[in-house]
Structure 1
Amino acid sequence: MSMIVQKFGGTSVGSASNIKRMASRVIEEKNRGNDVVVVVSAMGNTTDTLTRLASEVSTQPQKREMDMLLSTGEQVTIALLSMALQEKGSESISFTGGQAGIHTDSVHGNANIKTIDPKPILQELDAGKIVVVAGFQGVTDEGYISTLGRGGSDTTAAALAAQLGAERCDIYTDVDGVYTSDPRYIKKAAKISSLTYDDMLNLASRGAGVLHPRSVKHAKKHGIPMVVRSSLTRERGTFINHSSKRSDRYPVIGIVFQEERTSITLHGCGGSEVQYAIRSALTPRNIECDFFKSTQESELTLLLQHRDLQESLELISEKKEQLKFDRLTAKKDLAKVAVIGSNILTHPVIQGKAARELAASGIDFKLIEDSPVSVTAAVKQQDVHRAAELLHTAFGLDVPEMRTVVAIQ
């Protein structure tokens, strides 16, 4: 008997009828003779609704209380899915993240999983039950509920698959695989049949929203194959593991983008030492940032998620004496777009081509510092979809014959 971990996203379980349909998919896997652990997200837009409610009662909700609030979304789903499974004749039990043995650090709102005690899950699997686990959440050493940040249910699923030694981790979503760009906005985006962990990690960490980067890291570390597939159709998805080999004949894999970015500029300072000090201040809070290519020695600009702006300003200001900057300014309504590939630095023509294409179309941009796997630019929020579509075309990803080069056979 093998073990399969299945994860269903918010759209997959967005209604009672969807939950019933997903229950049938779970039972299909169980009937193949496999043990099944299911990880679910909150229904539909529940997390956004709860966030809005919090903003109506508090101008700056405490992160601990936000975790208490947001974690209820997944708890609704696990109970309903377990009920649906039982209604269809399958024994099932639901667990919150803490009940499933998931222990995290204390960074509320963006916690990392530290350890997983698999005993509660294994006991129920041994009893023949399907185990349904709330994604996106765990418990701190103090016993407080914590959440893993956006996309955290992917991380829960991959971490459980790794800890349980699963044969495979299936990620069910509203698209039928990983594409060369977001097919909701880039109409000529093509599905990629398979990817290495590294290629998937490069896509996910720079904007491909179909998988959270932490989930790919867990899968890679423990060699757990992942499959991204549709919960709405029976289409073959995208297979992710160590052994897939992508053609090196064309280095570009895809075009990704991230919205709702804000820049912070430190005036009167610069240099690698300052960058290191800033990262040292932000990393313990699990805040990720990019640095712009420096145009002035006396200025340093970083780009981060808008939701992290206030906390980042506070953390950087606490180090003002060490960083020796004169003042801070922030600019909102930004986004970033990236050309993703492998060994980008060995193909300098890629960066030049990306810059020329954006400039020729009148898109205002600033390049992010070099990466071995990407060329990234900050653009205005209003331009990000146009920039992504432009680069997708420019690098040949919407030409049919090129798709066979980008995709892994």
Structure 2
Amino acid sequence: MSIIVQKFGGTSVGSPSHIKRMASRVMEEKNRGNAVVVVVSAMGDTTDTLAKLASEITSQPKQREMDMLLSTGEQVTIALLAMALQERGAESISFTGGQAGIHTDSVHGNAKIKTIDGEPILRELDAGKIVVVAGFQGITEEGYISTLGRGGSDTTAAALAAQLEAERCDIYTDVDGVYTSDPRYIKKAAKISSLTYDDMLNLAAGGAGVLHPRSVKHAKKYGIPMVVRSSLTKERGTFINHSSQRSDRYPVIGIVFQGERTSITLSGLEGGSKVQSAIRAALETRNIECDFFKNHPESELTLLVQHNDVKESVELLSEGFKFPRFTTQGNLAKVAVIGSNIRTHPVIQGKAAKVLNAEHIEFKLIEDLPGSVTAAVPQHDMHLAAGLLHTAFGLDVPEMRKVVAVQ
């Protein structure tokens, strides 16, 4: 009997009728003779609603209490989905992250999974039950509830699939696969039939919201195939594993973007690249992701972080490093050209710069990565820049769509 892990996002379980529909999807997999573990997010906008409630109580809530609050959203969903499955005649049981054996570090609000004890889930699967697990959460060594931050339910699903040696991890979402860009804003974006783990990791790290990078890393490490598919249709999705059907004639895979970024410029630094490495390590202790800009004098260093991480980042940097002053600039976004071995195609960076300059879009290049060319642009230019680059790199022409779209 194969184990299949299914993950349903917030829009997929956003109402009782949606939950009933997803229960039918789960039953289809169960009726194929598979053991099924389901990971779910909170219903619809529940997490935002809970965060707003906290803001009406205090402007500076403790992260431990926020985790206690936000984790209740997933607990509502797991109970309702388990009931929906039981209504269809299936034996089902719901687990919080802690009950499912998911142990994390103690970075509340953005925890990382340290270990998983798969025994509680395997015991229920052996009894013939469908196990429904709360995504986005775990338990710390101290026994406190923790949350995994952005994309936490994806990470939960992939990590469980790895621990349970699942045959596959299916990610159900409101789009029917991974596209060359976000189809909600880039209308000529095309669906990609298959991707390697590395290609998907580059897309996710650059800003493709359909999967979180942590989830892809788990899947790659343990060789668990992932499928991104629609919760609303039966169309084939995007298959992710070690190989890809994508043509090597096109080094660019997609254009991705992320908003709500702020730059922090540190002046009067000494130590060059050593300081940069130390800064990155300091931020990683709080699971804060950052990018560094290119072309600054050694005495000046600029990094880009999510807007919500600015306060904590500045506090960490002020405690651990000596610099006379810092400045911040908000309302920025990242736009990235993603591809395979971008460094072997230096013309791509030049072409991206030329396209943005032609439309008078201000930008600053971020340090090179093997799979991307990334620029910071004003937030209000984010979608315009992404659309221009999507066209410039041939991703919305018929020939390219035939290469990357599902056949």
Q: Is the 8 A contact 1:244 1:408 kept in 2?
A: no
Note the alpha carbon deviations across 1:183-221, whole angstroms, 9 max, x for none: 010000000000001100010011000001111111111
Does the aligned pair in 2 maintain the 1:339–1:376 contact within 8 Å?
Answer: yes
Name the structure 2 match of 1:339. 337
The aligned counterpart of 2:164 is 164
Q: What amino acid is aligned across from residue 60 of structure 1 in structure 2? A: Q
1:175 is paired with a residue of what secondary structure? coil
Match of 2:11? Answer: 11
Counterparts of residues 189-200 of structure 1 (less than 5 Å): 189-200=189-200
Q: Write the deviation string for residues 223-261 of structure 1: whole angstroms up to 9, x where unpaired.
A: 111000000111110000112243221100000001110
Equivalent AA in structure 2 for residue 344 of structure 1: I
Counterpart of 1:57 in structure 2 is: 57
Counterpart of 2:103, as a letter, is: H
Secondary structure in structure 1 of the residue aligned to 2:285 = helix
CA distance in 1 between partners of 2:88 and 2:406 (Å): 39
Task: Give, as a single letter, the amino acid of the residue that structure 1 aligns with 2:293.
Answer: F
RMSD: 1.1
Give the unaligned 5+ runs of structure 2: none
What's the secondary structure of 1:49's corresponding residue?
A: helix
Give the partner amino acid of 1:218. Answer: H
Give the corresponding residue for 1:101.
Answer: 101
Alignment partner, residue 398 of structure 2? 400
- Secondary structure at the aligned position of 2:146 is classed as strand
SS of the residue 1:191 aligns to = coil
Q: Which residue of 2 is the match for residue 118 of structure 1? A: 118
Give the 5 Å matches for 1:117-136.
117-136=117-136
Distance 1:295 1:135 in 2: 41
Q: Deviations over 1:130-173 (max 9, x none)?
A: 00000000000000000000110000001111111111000000
Partner of 1:201: 201
Q: After TM superposition, list the pairs within 5 Å mapping 1:312-351 onto structure 2.
A: 312-321=313-322, 325-351=323-349
Report the AA paired with residue 266 of structure 1.
L
Counterpart-to-counterpart distance in 2, 1:70 and 1:8 = 17
| Structure 2 SS opposite 1:296 | coil
Give matches, 1:169-248, under 5 Å: 169-248=169-248
Extract unaligned runs of 5+ from structure 1.
none
User: Is the Cα–Cα contact under 8 Å of residues 266 and 300 in structure 2 kept in the other structure?
Assistant: yes
Cα displacement (A) at 1:307: 0.9
Which residue pairs with 2:312 in the alignment? Answer: 311
- Alignment deviations for residues 48-85 of structure 1 (CA, whole Å, 9 cap, x no partner): 11111111111111111110011000000000000111
Name the CA distance, whole Å, in 2 between partners of 1:385 and 1:46. 27
Distance 2:72 2:55 in 1: 17
Q: TM-score, normalised by structure 1?
A: 0.97
Match of 1:287 in 2: 288
CA contact (8 A) 1:85 1:92 kept: yes
The residue identity in structure 2 corresponding to 1:305 is Q
Contact preservation (8 Å) 2:190, 2:404: no
Give the equivalent residue in structure 2 for 1:154. 154
Instruction: Give the percent of matched residue pairs that are identical in Structure 1 and Structure 2.
Output: 83
What's the offset of the Cα at 1:274? Answer: 1.7
The ranges of structure 1 where at least 4 consecutive aligned residues each deviate by more than 6 angstroms after the TM superposition are none
CA distance in 1, matches of 2:158, 2:298: 43
> How many equivalent residue pairs?
406
